[in-house]
Chains A and B, each alone.
Chain A
Amino acid sequence: MLTFTIRRLLLSIPTLLFISFIIFGLLQLAPGDPMAQVPLTVPPEVKQKMREALGLGQAWYVQYYKWLIQFFWIEPLVFIDWLTNSTSLFGWLPDTAFAEGKLRVISWQTRSPVMDIVVQRMPQTLWVVGLSYVVGIVIAIPIGIYSAYRHYSLFDQAGTFITMVGFSIPPFFTGPLLIVIFSVYFGWLPSIYDTTHVVNDWASFKVQIFQMIMPVMVLALQTTAQISRYMRGAMLDNLNQDYVRTARAKGLSESVVVMVHVLRNSMIPVVTVIALGMPAIFGGAIITENVFKVNGIGQLLLTALFANDLPMVMTLTFIFAILIVLFNLIADVLYGLLDPRIRYD
């Protein structure tokens, strides 16, 4: 198992390099000009100098190489510096200054390091996306178990229908729909997520909960629909197995048979599906963040795209790619760990 993990980790390096190359190539082929916003009165030689200041004067392979160095070498150094300087966990170490004077990936919009902005935006995305994923799983698993256990019952049929609907309605429709119902007609919930809101007492905590309900539920609906389908399928596969009959014949109570024997075996594929779905939910969050005006990563990507901010777009897309590769790896390793029948070697 360990050798498999190490092999997969090593294999993910060329994969990531290839992906970064594709993204970079797309951006290079694109005809968008970051100088397009500069007024026409600026003389061409000044424009040329501005271009070089942005690092655009060099050949594409030099630019690519520099981006790789900045992303894979200098940004981790900055992270180490931050760990030793301002965290309590590693603060006892002598303060380091590895990244001092080194050029980081700079955003063309704000002229500040891209990673700093990403770090600022990350908590909003993680809160909304992460919480919605947890909520979705918590709802989905009991639904899946019960509808498989009572196969073809009314609950099963209603559940299958609702998950199918949840599967089919896109988030850019459920979002506005919920806003129309709960913000416009009833006026219970705010339609815009206020990221500057600070939670410091019970009342502000309540406000925070209220503004999170809608974005979280929109994303959770998609998760619930997918995972409860998988859960139901896996439970159905396992309920007809011989070991279930054996367990019942031994005289075990029905709850032990279903909730311990069958559930544990059915969770194996579901856990991998949950792991595989993590990066997809980040992608889906682009739309939800746009609907509810959450200023997270997805919204950052959109604004950077519209502003032709290539370093930001490159870095963000690559972060999404890292998430996908990482969670694919986690899913594979988990599958091998949970199911002893799976042998990768």
Chain B
Amino acid sequence: MTDQATPAAEADLETYGALQDKEPQKPPRSQWIDVWEQFSKHKGAVFGGGFLLFITFIVIFGPYIWTLEATKLDIRNKNWRPVYQLLFDSEAKAGWAHPFGTDQLGRDIMSQMIAGGRVSMAVGWLAMALALVIGTAIGVVSGYFKRLDFWLMRFTDLVLSLPILPLVLLAVTLFRQPLNARFGPEGGMFILIVSVIGLTSWMQTARIVRGDILALKEREFILAARSIGTKPGKIIRRHLLPNVISPIMVSATLGLATAIITESALSFLGVGFPSDYPTWGKLLADAVQRMQEFPERVLLPGIAISLTVLSVNYLGDGLRDALDPRIRGR
């Protein structure tokens, strides 16, 4: 079919000459294909996203593959070194039974890392989601409804000038008891940490979303929607929210990174989860006491936290470039 059409098209080209576009018309492309192409040009972002997927996969499915229980004590096999120690020292107590070694109570560090990653990632994702929901809600409401704008933004400014880390420390230490009594030591702490981090990190999202909504609200398509009698709720859901999705996604990556770091910092300072409940920060904090003899117990969780946060930050960087239409064309 096309072969037959080509000579005719070439003849047309000769007749019209400069009037015709040199390039054949491209098929219309969806926005998300463009975004993906720009995103895949940013190597760091692709690596970051890949690593984040990899870590998520490991912490979700790891316990089924590496079936040793994280909290199981095995005093006879305590203080194993990681398996690479055999390279320097063939006498070292190490082996493939515990590739990352065991701790002072004989718990397998590999399965502790997996279990700890599960908690850290779960806290990070949930706290980020909570912060996003609050931030987007406040941002949209204060951008769209003029009457609430002043008070909501004053409130945001007030929360922004709170000393976050001291307050988080305060809230976690002070409210540990009642929540633990109600939901059990692990569940109570989980709820407490997620809500405390979520409640103290929504402000930037709210500000960015409000700014974008304020600009979007004056555009013609919103006017058109309003003129045909669309209700505010419908305008927000159908027209405004899809248009602010990109700043929300970028601040989501930032939020995930800070949430993981804050959770680890709390565990490190000793106000986080109970001691038999491993998280990356907790593993790191417990290992600091004996890091002279067993530096790997500090290094492994530390590297896990840092790599995860680094990959999330790179992902955010790439997303920001990919979602910005001014940069995308280049």
Contact = CB atoms under 8 A, between A and B. Distances in A.
Contacts of A323: 163
A62 interface: no
A320 B298 CA distance: 30
B306 A170 contact: yes
A334 B156 CA distance: 22
Contacts of B288: 176, 291
A15 interface: yes
A19 B162 contact: yes
A34 to B, nearest CB: 12
B308 to A, nearest CB: 9
B161 A168 contact: no
Given A179-B291, A302-B269, A26 B170 contact: yes
A32 B180 CA distance: 13
A286 B166 contact: yes
Given A168-B257, A172-B264, A173-B306, A283 B170 contact: no
B163 A279 contact: yes
B273 interface: no
Contacts of B317: 164
Nearest to A291: B288
A177 B174 CA distance: 31
Contacts of A179: 291
A325 B298 CA distance: 37
Contacts of B4: none
A286 B269 contact: yes
Interface string B82-119: 00000000000000000000000000000000000000
A168 to B, nearest CB: 4
A68 interface: no
Interface residues of A, number: 45
A247 to B, nearest CB: 26
Interface string A219-230: 000000000000
Contacts of B257: 168
A29 B170 CA distance: 11
B198 interface: no
Interface string B286-330: 001001100100110010011001100110010000000000000
A313 B166 CA distance: 9
A24 to B, nearest CB: 11
Contacts of B285: 172
Given A31-B178, A176-B288, A305-B173, A23 B165 contact: no
A317 interface: yes
B175 interface: yes
Given A286-B165, A305-B173, A168 B313 contact: yes
A165 interface: yes
Interface string A180-208: 10001000000000000000000000000
B161 A32 contact: no
A306 B271 CA distance: 9
Nearest to B165: A283
A18 interface: yes
B306 A169 contact: yes
Interface in B256-273: 257, 261, 264-265, 268-271
Interface in A5-56: 15, 18-19, 22-23, 26-27, 29-32
Contacts of B264: 170, 172
Contact of A27 (B44, B157, B158, B170): B170
Contacts of B177: 31-32
A71 to B, nearest CB: 16
Contact of A31 (B169, B174, B270): B174
Contacts of A64: none
A83 B275 CA distance: 48
B158 A283 contact: no
Nearest to A171: B265
A31 B179 CA distance: 11
Interface string A279-292: 10001101100110
Given A23-B167, A27-B170, A32-B177, A164 B310 contact: yes
Contacts of B298: 173, 176-177, 180
A22 B306 contact: no
Nearest to A284: B165
B171 interface: yes
Interface in B132-181: 157-158, 161-167, 169-171, 173-175, 177-178
Contacts of A108: none
B269 A287 contact: yes
Interface in A91-108: none
Contacts of B171: 26
Nearest to B296: A180
A177 B169 contact: no
B129 to A, nearest CB: 21
A238 interface: no
Nearest to B292: A184
Given A168-B257, A279-B163, A283-B165, A32 B174 contact: yes
A313 B310 CA distance: 33
B284 A172 contact: yes
Given A19-B162, A172-B268, A27 B292 contact: no
Contacts of B170: 23, 26-27, 30, 305, 313, 317
B278 interface: no
B124 interface: no
A39 B161 CA distance: 40
Contacts of A272: none
Nearest to B311: A168
B305 A173 contact: yes
A324 interface: yes
B302 A177 contact: yes
Sorted from nearest, which 7 A-B pairs have the closest CB atoms? A30-B174, A320-B163, A173-B302, A168-B310, A283-B165, A168-B309, A172-B268
11 contacts: A23-B170, A27-B174, A161-B44, A169-B306, A170-B261, A170-B305, A173-B284, A179-B291, A305-B169, A320-B163, A323-B163
